Amino acid sequence: MFFFKSFNKTVSAGMLFTTLLTIFIIGSVFLIGETLKFKHDADDLSASFYTNQKEKAKNEVNRAIEYIEYRKNHTKEELEANLKKRVYEAYNVAESIYTRYSDEMNKAEIINLIKEALRPVRFNNGRGYFFIYDMEGNNILLPPSPQMEGTNMINLEDSKGLYTIQRANKTC
């Protein structure tokens, strides 16, 4: 009977051990599977988030570029309109001086009055000023460089190698 009790305990203990081992193995397999699935899902989520953020950044950059282009084009148009308005103002000043003094003064004196009326005028936040050249390329008025006034600049080239005064004369 002692053998039978001992055998029963051994079998029971063996069955308990086998059951616990089976539960442990099944639990471990399940846990490893869930961990791998979690890692895979986390990697997918991370890749998706990265792609999404990359696309958002790309879209924002494209919107910024479009806005800059829009502002550049409109700024150029606004600047051209403003310059045109300023040229008409200068022309009206010159015409008014000429009309007022043409009976009293000679051509040189009238030109000098026009120069002195336009010399101090600045626009576009102080970056713009009026300059005058005659059709032969002689500098009549150049406020930032008065020492250049009276010199012929018909062959003046800009940084691109274009003849600035010649091109301006062609547009007149």
Residue 17 domain-assigned (yes or no): no
Q: Are residues 86 and 117 in the same domain?
A: yes
Query: CA 90 to CA 82: how far, in whole Å?
Result: 12
Angle (CA) 13 16 22, round 5°: 140
Name the least confident of 10-19, 48-57, 61-70, 133-142: 10-19
Domain with 117, as residue range(s), is: 54-129
Residue 19 domain-assigned (yes or no): no
List pLDDT tens digits, range 87-122.
999 999 999 999 999 999 999 999 999 999 999 999
Residue 12 domain-assigned (yes or no): no
Q: Are residues 166 and 121 in the same domain?
A: no
Q: How confident is the model at residue 3 (pLDDT cuts 50, 70, 90)?
A: low
Q: Which residue has the higher pLDDT, 125 or 57?
A: 57
Cut 0.85: pTM above it: no
The whole-number average pLDDT for the span 69-73 is 88
